[in-house]
C-alpha cells in the first residue's frame, strides 16, 4: 500500500475531476490518497508520502502559477522521491500534441523547472463555453476554429481519454512499487 499525494491546479474544475478519478482507482487498490488543491497550504510534509503527483491545466498559454510555485518551493524533496506530472489542455486533443513530447505546454513547463518527474503525460481537457465570460468564449472559439473544431458560444465538449487517465494512474503505482 502506498501513500500518494495528488495535487491539482484547476480553473474550471476538470483537472480536479481527473484527479478524483485517479484517486478513486488508487483507493480501490487500497492505496492511501490525499487529493489537495495546490493553491491551498499543505499541512503534511512531502516526506510523509511515498509519491507525489501534480496535475495542472492550461489557460491563456500557461499552467496556473500555483503549480510552478509549489514545484519551486519543494524542488529538493520532489527530486528525491517518485513523482509524476500531468497537464490538462485542449491542444492535447490532436496528435502530435497528445503526447508529453509533442505538447508545447508540457515542454514549456518542463523547460521552466529543473524538476524531472519520473512520469509525465498530457490529457485533453474539457470545453464548457457556458461557464466562460464572453471574452474567454471568443478566445476559446477562435483557438478551436483555428485548429479545425467548429464550436459555438454554448458548446460543451469533453475530450478526455478516461482510459488513458486510468492507465497513467496504474503506471504511477507500478513505478512506485518498483522503487
Ligand atoms: C480562457 C481559456 C483559455 C485557455 N487557454 C488554453 C491554451 O492556451 N492552451 C490549451 O491547450 N488549452 C487552453 N484552454 C483549455 C483548458 O486547458 C481546458 O479547458 C481544460 O480542460 C481546463 O481545465 P480546468 O477545468 O482544470 O481548468 C483554455 C480554456 C479557456 C477557457
Q: Which residues line ligand 1 (CB under 6 A)?
A: 10-15, 57-61, 88-91, 105, 125-127, 132, 136, 139-140
Atom of ligand 1 nearest to the CA of 13: 25
Q: How many CA atoms lie within 13 A of 99 on its CB side?
A: 4
**Number of other residues whose CB lies within 10 A of the CB of residue 145:** 11
Q: How far is the CA of 57 from the centre of ligand 1 (A)?
A: 6
Question: Closest Cα to residue 158, out of 127, 132, 129, 136?
Answer: 127
Q: How far is the CA of 119 from the centre of ligand 1 (A)?
A: 22
The angle subtended at Cα 109 by Cα 6 and Cα 79, nearest 5°, is 55
Question: Closest Cα to residue 109, out of 74, 52, 53, 58?
Answer: 58
Question: Closest Cα to residue 15, out of 77, 67, 83, 79?
Answer: 67
pLDDT of amino acid 61: 93
* Separation of CA 104 from chain center: 14
Residues 19-44: tens digit of each pLDDT: 999 999 999 999 999 999 999 999 99
**Number of other residues whose CB lies within 10 A of the CB of residue 24:** 14
Mean pLDDT of 144-162: 94
pLDDT of amino acid 176: 87
Residues 118-137: tens digit of each pLDDT: 999 999 999 999 999 999 99
Task: Locate the domains of the chain by residue range.
Answer: 3-125+160-178, 127-158
pLDDT of amino acid 29: 97
Residues 50-96: tens digit of each pLDDT: 999 999 999 999 999 999 999 999 999 999 999 999 999 999 999 99
Q: How far apart are CA 89 and CA 106, in angstroms?
A: 9
Q: How far is the CA of 59 from the centre of ligand 1 (A)?
A: 4
Burial class (CB in 10 A: 0-12, 13-18, 19+), 11: middle
Instruction: Assign 157 to helix, strand or coil.
Output: strand
Q: Whose CA is nearest to atom 29 of ligand 1?
A: 59
Q: How far is the CA of 104 from the centre of ligand 1 (A)?
A: 13
Q: How far apart are CA 130 and CA 153, in angstroms?
A: 7
H or E stretch including 22?
Answer: helix 14-28
Biggest CA-to-CA distance, the chain: 48
Q: Span 3-125+160-178: which CATH code?
A: 3.40.50.360
pLDDT of amino acid 179: 84
Atom of ligand 1 nearest to the CA of 139: 1
Amino acid at each position: 500500500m502506498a501513500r500518494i499525494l495528488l495535487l491539482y491546479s484547476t480553473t474550471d474544475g476538470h483537472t480536479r475531476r481527473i484527479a478524483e478519478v485517479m484517486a478513486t482507482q488508487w483507493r480501490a487498490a487500497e492505496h492511501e490518497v490525499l487529493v489537495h488543491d495546490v493553491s491551498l497550504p499543505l499541512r503534511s510534509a512531502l516526506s510523509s508520502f511515498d509519491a507525489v503527483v501534480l496535475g495542472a491545466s492550461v489557460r491563456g498559454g500557461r499552467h496556473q502559477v500555483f503549480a510552478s510555485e509549489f514545484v519551486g518551493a519543494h524542488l529538493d524533496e520532489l527530486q528525491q522521491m517518485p513523482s509524476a506530472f500531468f497537464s490538462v489542455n485542449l491542444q492535447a486533443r490532436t496528435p502530435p500534441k497528445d503526447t508529453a513530447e509533442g505538447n508545447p505546454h508540457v515542454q514549456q513547463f518542463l523547460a521552466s523547472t529543473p524538476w524531472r518527474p519520473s512520469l509525465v503525460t498530457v490529457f485533453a481537457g474539457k470545453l464548457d463555453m457556458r461557464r466562460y465570460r464572453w471574452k474567454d468564449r471568443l478566445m476559446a472559439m477562435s483557438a478551436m476554429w483555428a485548429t479545425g473544431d467548429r464550436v459555438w458560444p454554448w458548446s460543451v465538449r469533453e475530450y478526455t481519454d478516461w482510459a488513458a487517465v486510468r492507465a497513467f494512474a496504474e503506471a504511477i503505482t507500478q513505478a512506485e512499487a518498483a522503487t
